A and B are shown apart, each in its own frame.
Chain A
Amino acid sequence: MVDNILAISDLTLRYGDQTALNGISFEVPRFEIFSIIGPTQSGKSSLLRILNRTIDFNADARVSGSVLLDGEQVLTTPHVHDLRRKVGMVAPLPVGLPLSIYDNVAFAPRLAGVSKRADLDGLVESCLRQAALWDEVKDRLDQLGTRLSGGQQQRLTIARALSHTPDLLCLDEFSIAIDPVTTMRIEEVLRELKTKLTIILVTNLIQQARRLSDRTLFLWNGSIIEQGTTEAMFSDHPANSLTYDYIRGAFG
């Protein structure tokens, strides 16, 4: 019996009368990297926005189905802010908050009531270390986060997403704005983080999914085409020929 951190069943999302997710079901095992691949507009980002309920900010989004995170119903939980702290979220384009590097990472802990300087210092350092950014910024923590380079900012957002000790870390195409070397460093980081938390990786880089993930899900036009172990999906005979074509770059 696999220990699933996330169990989604029959999840449907509509923006007005346009269907973005069409009754999808899947499970994510704990302490694995789970990739979601699929062409543009397939609903990947929308799916992540459901997981931490930031979809609520979209007035015409209608969600139905069931999303269980650690056994708790995400779609109806009244504790939205606690939920968002359990789910770390990294957006495609790095967004440094207009605060210092230190305050960027200390933002969420402070909101949660951590105020002792020593506690915060320790937290900030450990998060920045986990995101492989500590050595570059340790001497200028009071500098503005928005002034870092793109690759550094992306690692800053990862450090920030770790600052509220999530159980689930979601990354949405984290590498579209950064160079291959930094991408590799972050991939290293993710492999290490896997021992402590579960990672959902939305990516357009097929090979990144192949390199990193234990399981892969292929989403297309709001429906799941195929899901399974990365090994099986990337073999010469995936269950669905669409998967084969997509992975080989025949379309999308």
Chain B
Amino acid sequence: MKPALAPSPTTPRFRETPAIARRHRQEVIARRLLGTTLILSLVPLFAILIYLVWQAAPVLSWGFLVESPRDGMRSGGLWPALLGTLYLVGASLAAATPVGVLAAVYLNEYARPGRFSRLVSLAVINLAGVPSIVHALFGLGAFVAFAGFGRSILAASLTLAVMSLPVIIASTTEALKSVPQSFREASWNLGATRWQTTRHIVLPNALPGIFTGIILMVSRTAGETAPVLFTGAVFYKSIAGGDLFAYSLLDQCMALSVHLFTVSTQVPNVSDALPYAIAVVLVATVLGVNALSIALRVYLRSRKNW
């Protein structure tokens, strides 16, 4: 006699029916498929990075970063362009962040929902779709000519700021919407004003999301070419290599994106590696700033309160 029903510890207790087995197979296929697409989408990123660094290797060095260009930009470094880009991004950030964040706070926390605020939101979204060359023209008219800043870092970074305002407003709006309404109501019930509620309850909890918008903006502005070319960037400017305070706000400056364009298209007999090296520095700057913001964001999120 066989003890047919005695369960051995290794036989599964729960047998799969064919239907469940099919679902399992689908699950496995779905997971593999999704995993593959993830890898596929990472491939271009790494391919671009590796290709760039590979091509740029002969030129890349510390000196390349902190020296000024020589021989009509055929050798030497790119310090003026790197510093110029840092100035442009920094100044546009300083201008756009407070205005964008406060505008979003007003739209979400203060303005009565209705025709007007919907109209403004719509305008903001559409502004984000205006081509950068149009912003360039606007900057030329508004800041260079009308406001009288001339072609300068100030005019260029304000142009960039106008360009990135919609991005910051949109992402801040998202961040504010993600704070549960019940928190606001609890705070109002305690006699808090709108501003006290915003300041103590809403903003602290929306910060990580707000940083996302700023990350986006940095990536975008660092690579822009047309707007800065119209309003304040020059092909060549001689400053002391390695000097962090070489520019003032009313100076014209070099910028990485413009420098890359010039070296690739306007200067004859340039070594093949040079444009790639400039591109590497540009990408590294953007990724570096991104990494910083992401780290800050992760830190803030780890202190998330609910």
In this assembly, does A108 line the interface, its C-beta being within 8 Å of a C-beta of chain B?
A: yes
Find out whether the CB atom of A84 lies under 8 angstroms from the CB atom of B191.
Answer: yes
A144-B188 Cα distance, complex, nearest whole Å: 20
B interface bracket (residues with beta carbon within 8 Å of A): 20 to 34
Determine which of A81, A95, A99, A107 lies in contact with B185 in the assembled complex, contact meaning CB atoms within 8 Å.
A95
Find out whether the CB atom of B196 lies under 8 angstroms from the CB atom of A111.
Answer: yes
A57-B306 Cα distance, complex, nearest whole Å: 24
In this assembly, does A74 line the interface, its C-beta being within 8 Å of a C-beta of chain B?
A: no
In this assembly, does A235 line the interface, its C-beta being within 8 Å of a C-beta of chain B?
A: no
A101-114 near B? 1/0 per residue, CB < 8 Å = 00000011001100
B103-130 near A? 1/0 per residue, CB < 8 Å = 0000000001110000000000000000
Which residues of A sit under 8 angstroms from B186, Cβ to Cβ?
91, 95, 97, 157, 160
In this assembly, does A98 line the interface, its C-beta being within 8 Å of a C-beta of chain B?
A: yes
CB distance from A115 to the nearest CB of B (A): 14
Determine which of A84, A93, A96, A98 lies in contact with B190 in the assembled complex, contact meaning CB atoms within 8 Å.
A84
In this assembly, does B205 line the interface, its C-beta being within 8 Å of a C-beta of chain A?
A: yes
Q: Ordered nearest first, which 3 A-B pairs have the shortest CB separation?
A: A98-B305, A84-B191, A89-B189
Determine which of B112, B191, B200, B305 lies in contact with A85 in the assembled complex, contact meaning CB atoms within 8 Å.
B191
Which residues of B sit under 8 angstroms from A161, Cβ to Cβ?
189-190
In this assembly, does A82 line the interface, its C-beta being within 8 Å of a C-beta of chain B?
A: yes
In this assembly, does A73 line the interface, its C-beta being within 8 Å of a C-beta of chain B?
A: no
In this assembly, does B271 line the interface, its C-beta being within 8 Å of a C-beta of chain A?
A: no
In this assembly, does A54 line the interface, its C-beta being within 8 Å of a C-beta of chain B?
A: yes
Chain A residues with a Cβ closer than 8 Å to the other chain, count: 27
The residues in B between 167 and 215 inclusive whose CB is less than 8 angstroms from any CB of A are 182-183, 185-193, 196, 200-201, 204-205
In this assembly, does A118 line the interface, its C-beta being within 8 Å of a C-beta of chain B?
A: no
Q: Known A59-B114, A111-B196, A157-B186; judge A98-B191 contact (CB<8 A).
A: no
- 6 pairs, CB–CB < 8 Å, chain A vs chain B: A59-B112, A81-B191, A107-B187, A144-B305, A164-B190, A164-B191
Which residues of A sit under 8 angstroms from B187, Cβ to Cβ?
97, 107
Most chain A CB within a 10 A radius of its CB, from B112, B192, B205: B192
Q: Known A98-B305, A99-B305, A144-B305; judge A107-B190 contact (CB<8 A).
A: yes
A121-150 near B? 1/0 per residue, CB < 8 Å = 000000000000000000000001010000
A84-B189 Cα distance, complex, nearest whole Å: 6
Find out whether the CB atom of A107 lies under 8 angstroms from the CB atom of B200.
Answer: yes
Determine which of A52, A89, A93, A111 lies in contact with B192 in the assembled complex, contact meaning CB atoms within 8 Å.
A111
Which residues of B sit under 8 angstroms from A157, Cβ to Cβ?
186
CB distance from A149 to the nearest CB of B (A): 14
Q: Known A97-B183, A98-B306, A146-B305; judge A57-B188 contact (CB<8 A).
A: yes
A96-B305 Cα distance, complex, nearest whole Å: 10
The residues in A between 150 and 175 inclusive whose CB is less than 8 angstroms from any CB of B are 157, 160-161, 163-164
A79-95 near B? 1/0 per residue, CB < 8 Å = 00110110001010101
Which residues of B sit under 8 angstroms from A82, Cβ to Cβ?
191
The residues in B between 112 and 156 inclusive whose CB is less than 8 angstroms from any CB of A are 112-114
A9-B188 Cα distance, complex, nearest whole Å: 25
CB distance from B56 to the nearest CB of A (A): 47
A96-B204 Cα distance, complex, nearest whole Å: 15
A107-B201 Cα distance, complex, nearest whole Å: 10
Which residues of B sit under 8 angstroms from A91, Cβ to Cβ?
182, 185-186, 189
Most chain B CB within a 10 A radius of its CB, from A81, A98, A112, A146: A98
> Other CB < 8 Å A-B pairs besides A98-B306, A111-B196, A160-B190, 12 of them?
A52-B189, A54-B188, A54-B189, A59-B112, A82-B191, A84-B190, A85-B190, A91-B185, A98-B204, A157-B186, A161-B190, A164-B190
